[in-house]
Amino acid sequence: MLQRTPSSPPPVAGEDAIPTDEVATEAPAQLRPEGWDLGSQWPELPESCSGAWDPASDFPHTRCQQLLPGDAEPSETIVVVGSSHARQYIPALLPTAEARDAQIVNLAMDGCAFLAGTERWPYCAGYDEWVLEYLDAVEPDLVVTTVTQTAPDSAAETLPEGTEGAVQTLLDRGIDVLAMRDTPRWETDQYSCPEAVIEGGGTPVEADEACGADASAKLAPENPAGSLESLTGPGSSVRVLDLTEEICPGGRCSPILGDTYVYMDDDHLTRVFVEEVLAAAVTRELAAATG
């Protein structure tokens, strides 16, 4: 069911802004991002890794990027590791990094979660060791990674075997961990499906009916990562962050919230949505973590 408060009338086309926790009953004048702009929705950092943040060696299918130049003297370093589902949160880290003058490093590898200490399939073999070698050299203050894995065709969300051990490996190095719950995955493209409804004269509500789903059909009833919060290291700890309420407000995962497409494909959030909706929640979590 679509959730609205009795005092809040349905948004209509032409309004300046539609709250991003609501599904409009009429198509907004413009939906973002537009199809031609999808390529820019992948998070990128402005600098190739250099200086103290340059890896000692390259690794296939990775492209180390950093926020600040190689000669910067940041107050702290945040490293994003794991798959593209971790990488998609980079825009949500930027407000904190800018406020604290922190360095962000993107060390993600598409298709490879961070699972140090486990046997990996050939494509991911060696990635975890490469990451740990990098972390030992850089000594970051925080690692951000996703820790659960959702399924496109069911609510069979899991904590992959070896996740607790991988997180503990980071904690034992004195690195704090921001452990992100995975986002819903889909069998259908969550951009092209609602776009077709809108282009056919439909509304975001009709796009939701055609393409969306209840959160209970996409995610486990409880966050499988809850057990990680008890893990600790020497001066280090885990913060588990679940953004389900922001992504699926009111228990409904809709493809269009406000005037924004939530997904750019079948399982990655648009940069616009992450910047405008998730950044505030991530900023609050990181502020709470530092007291």
The tens-digit pLDDT sequence of the chain (291 residues) is 233 222 333 333 344 567 777 898 888 889 999 999 999 999 999 999 999 999 999 999 999 999 999 999 999 999 999 999 999 999 999 999 999 999 999 999 999 999 999 999 999 999 999 999 999 999 999 999 999 999 999 999 999 999 999 999 999 999 999 999 999 999 999 999 999 999 999 999 999 999 999 999 999 999 999 999 999 999 999 999 999 999 999 999 999 999 999 999 999 999 999 999 999 999 999 998 876
Domain count, the chain: 1
Domain membership flag for residue 52? yes
List Cα–Cα distances, 181 to 13, 89, 123, 225, 235, in angstroms.
34, 11, 23, 7, 23
Domain membership flag for residue 110? yes
Domain membership flag for residue 197? no
Domain membership flag for residue 170? yes
By the 10 Å C-beta count (0-12 exposed, 13-18 middle, 19+ buried), 71 is classed as exposed
Domain membership flag for residue 126? yes
Tell me, what CATH number does 170's domain have? 3.40.50.2300
108: containing domain: 42-186+221-242+271-289
Domain membership flag for residue 18? no
Domain membership flag for residue 6? no
Domain membership flag for residue 136? yes
**Strand, coil or helix: 157:** strand
Round to whole Å and give the CA distance between 167 and 237. Answer: 10
